[in-house]
């Protein structure tokens, strides 16, 4: 047991002092899918003292290709990812305090658990949650590490409150549409690359080696052999509502959160995004035809899946027919629409 972290301690930027710091720190991982599970395993093996994992979903067969903490048994039994991750990680390192929380990453639920967190890792699948994470991180001055991947492409960016531009500075507003793993696919090397960068940045922050923290927005494509670092410091805005001098943390407000309503008597759930922007229905039709029969008119698009039907209006509203379960509807929404 005494030499468990010996190779890590031989690495000079960590050493014995850094290892002692790691054992005092708390990492919050939001999302236990591909990125979250890969990052969680590395963080636990490194000996971080406390790890909290938040995820609302359960293990499915399509996860096993890239989500390394899970096995066929969990997929067969549809075990919640947060629980499966907690049990697997506890077997890897019993010295780490690991807590898996099966819950939606909403403002109230996250705000109740961030107070003693030292760094947040992004393992989510949508920008609604990322902008909530960004505002919480700015409000409570917690560093967080953005990460995303789809196809063979990945990107990561480390956000230090008070120093770097935040996600709101860079993106201005929530994107209304992105490609997803369910529409464009994904290969595991892209996941591992993003997770490696995220974990490396987290370790730098946890051992307080601030000079080593990357200050650039990093993108790469492991299939096309492309790699690019973007300087973004000039993107920081004094009037940014999330991190500026008069920050109001807009994505913590109810009016800036995605709204979900169960439609009485219709076995359907309506989801309204933060912004009412016009969708490109032609683009959506191309993406969704891989999953079911698509019908389209100038006002809306309908996609008939195996068990559900999606109706997407041009203003961004989505009806998920075939369920009254809000969680089920949201999972489907984020998987197919980003």
Give dist(CA 146, CA 60) in Å, integer: 25
Q: Which two tokens stand for residue 326?
A: 């809000």
Report yes or no: 186 and 66 within 8 Å, Cβ to Cβ.
Answer: yes
DSSP 244-285: STT---GGGSGGGS-EEEEETTTTEEEEE-SS-----HHHHH
Among 166, 169, 181, 240, the active-site one is 181
Helix segments in 101-165, DSSP class H: 107-111, 127-140
Report yes or no: 176 and 277 within 8 Å, Cβ to Cβ.
Answer: yes
Give dist(CA 243, CA 193) in Å, integer: 28
Edge-first strand order for the sheet with 97-102 is 97-102, 50-55, 26-30, 119-122, 144-150, 153-159, 216-221, 226-231
Exposed / middle / buried, residue 159 (Cβ in 10 Å: 0-12, 13-18, 19+)? buried
The DSSP output letter for 49 is S
Give dist(CA 211, CA 41) in Å, integer: 25
Give dist(CA 247, CA 115) in Å, integer: 19
Would residue 169 show up in a list of annotated catalytic residues for this protein? no
Query: Hey, is 36 helix, strand or coil?
Result: helix
Q: What are phi and psi of 273, to 5 degrees?
A: -75, 175
User: Which are the catalytic amino acids?
Assistant: 181
């Amino acid at each position: 047991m005494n030499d468990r972290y010996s190779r890590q301690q031989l690495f000079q930027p960590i050493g014995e002092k850094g290892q002692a710091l790691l054992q005092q720190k708390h990492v919050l991982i939001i999302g236990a899918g591909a990125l979250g599970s890969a990052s969680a395993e590395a963080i636990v093996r490194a000996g971080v003292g406390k790890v909290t994992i938040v995820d609302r979903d359960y293990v499915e067969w399509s996860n096993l290709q890239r989500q390394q903490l899970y096995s066929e048994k969990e997929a067969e039994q549809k075990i919640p990812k947060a629980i499966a991750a907690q049990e697997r990680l506890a077997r890897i390192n019993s010295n780490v305090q690991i807590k898996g929380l099966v819950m939606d990453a909403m403002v109230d639920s996250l705000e109740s658990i961030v107070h003693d967190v030292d760094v947040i890792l992004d393992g989510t699948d949508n920008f609604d949650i990322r902008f909530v994470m960004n505002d919480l991180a700015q409000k409570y001055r917690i560093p967080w590490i953005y990460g995303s991947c789809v196809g063979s492409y990945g990107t990561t960016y480390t956000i230090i409150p008070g120093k770097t531009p935040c996600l709101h500075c860079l993106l201005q507003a929530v994107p209304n549409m992105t490609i997803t793993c369910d529409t464009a696919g994904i290969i595991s090397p892209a996941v591992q690359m993003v997770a490696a960068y995220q974990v490396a940045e987290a370790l730098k922050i946890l051992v307080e080696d601030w000079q080593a923290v990357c200050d650039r927005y990093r993108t790469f494509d492991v299939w096309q052999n492309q790699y690019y670092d973007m300087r973004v410091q000039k993107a920081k805005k004094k009037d940014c509502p999330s991190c500026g001098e008069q920050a109001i943390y807009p994505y913590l407000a109810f009016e800036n959160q995605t709204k979900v309503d169960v439609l009485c008597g219709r076995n359907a759930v309506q989801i309204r995004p933060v912004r009412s922007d016009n969708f490109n229905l032609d683009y959506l039709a191309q993406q969704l035809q891989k999953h079911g029969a698509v019908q389209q008119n100038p006002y809306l698009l309908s996609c008939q899946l195996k068990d559900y039907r999606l109706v997407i209006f041009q203003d961004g509203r989505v009806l998920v027919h075939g369920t009254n379960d809000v969680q089920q509807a949201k999972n489907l929404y984020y998987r197919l629409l980003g």
